[in-house]
Amino acid sequence: MSTGVSELTSEVYRRGVRRVLFVTLALNIAVVIGKLIAGLLASSLSVISDAIHSAVDSLNNIVGLVVMKYATAEADEGHPYGHAKFETLAAFIIAGFLFVTCYEIGTSAFKRLFSSDAPHPEISFLTIGVMLATIIANLIVTTYEQREGKRLRSAFLIADAIHTRSDVLVSCSVLAGLVLVKLGYLWFDPVVSLGVAAFIAWNGYQIFKTTVPVLVDAAPVPPSRIAEIAESVPGVHSVHDIRSRTQGGEMFIEMHLHVAEEIEHDHVASHAITEEVERKLEQEFGKVIATIHVEPLPHP
């Protein structure tokens, strides 16, 4: 058995993720307040919907700060592989929040679209200015969070950055809609809100697509690819019974390996081969924890 060396200790990882979450939480709260005030003053459902969308970002940050306490805890007897899946589970919960938000916004938009006594939005240059400022703030947040998420290999930060990136696209759509509303196309306000709901649903789907395979231990790469890499190492005859899964930025791989007949009784050489197999796997997939069972070749 060979074990990969972690590039980031749990404490460094915890501090890094918490720092990012605190910074983005402060910016997200400022964005929500700005959008909410502008939306209420203008009676614009699209701006209020966008504020609700951004509020989910703040909620995500709070959830992340809480879950980091558990996701970065050391492995114990009950959790020998660690607690990193708490982070993946939190990302999954974010997607759930997004779908609930999508439903609420969509319902409100349809009611206003088909209601004869719906309030008419009053768009001012202040409303447009606030939206421009929040777009700039969201660009800063998503760039920072995506960069740090990749550096720290944090599924939660990357998922949250995807959501924040959608805020930029949504806010740009809302801003374009506000210009049309100001030109007299009042019906465009609830229509843009439906567009916001669609963006939110799409981002929820993207997060589900990345978190569900991890939660159900789906194989991240085909066994044939792992076998190809292992069998490229000199001295490896063949491999079989390959299993793999991911968790918290790590890939766990198990396999049974046959070494060449001339070295099958040389334990030092066999161990060196397993070390080289793991090195090759890490070159291909990043951080890998491999469990390699060396077996003698079957003889007739």
Tens-place pLDDT, residues 240-293: 999 988 876 678 899 999 888 878 778 888 889 899 999 999 888 888 888 888
Max Cα separation, the chain? Answer: 87
- Going by pLDDT thresholds of 50, 70 and 90, the confidence category of residue 2 is very low
- Going by pLDDT thresholds of 50, 70 and 90, the confidence category of residue 12 is confident
Q: Which helix (H) or strand (E) holds 288?
A: strand 288-295
Distance CA 30, CA 36 (A): 10
Q: Does 190 have pLDDT greater than 70?
A: yes
Q: What pLDDT does 271 receive?
A: 87
For the segment 26-70, what is each residue's pLDDT rounded down to a tens digit? 988 998 998 898 888 888 888 888 888 778 778 778 877 777 777
* Start and end residues for every CATH 1.20.1510.10 domain found in the chain: 10-213
Distance CA 207, CA 95 (A): 6
Q: Does 10 have pLDDT greater than 70?
A: no
Q: What pLDDT does 116 receive?
A: 66
Q: What pLDDT does 71 receive?
A: 67
Is the separation of the CB atoms in 259 and 220 below 8 Å? no
Q: Which residues of 260-269 are buried (b: 16+ CB within 10 A; e: fewer)?
A: beebbeeeee
Q: Does 4 have pLDDT greater than 60?
A: no
Q: Does 208 have pLDDT greater than 50?
A: yes
For the segment 90-108, what is each residue's pLDDT rounded down to a tens digit? 778 878 878 887 887 788 7
- Considering only the top CATH level, what class is 10-213? mainly alpha
Distance CA 241, CA 226 (A): 11
Dihedral (Cα; 16, 19, 25, 27), 10-degree rounding: -110
Distance CA 50, CA 107 (A): 14
Q: Does 214 have pLDDT greater than 80?
A: no
Edge-first strand listing for the sheet containing 236-247: 236-247, 250-259, 288-295
Quote the percentage of the chain above a pLDDT of 70. Answer: 89
CATH topology of domain 223-295: Alpha-Beta Plaits (3.30.70)
Quote the percentage of the chain above a pLDDT of 90. Answer: 6
DSSP state of 201: H
Rounded to a whole number of angstroms, the CA Rg of the chain reads 25
* Start and end residues for every CATH 3.30.70.1350 domain found in the chain: 223-295
Distance CA 94, CA 91 (A): 5
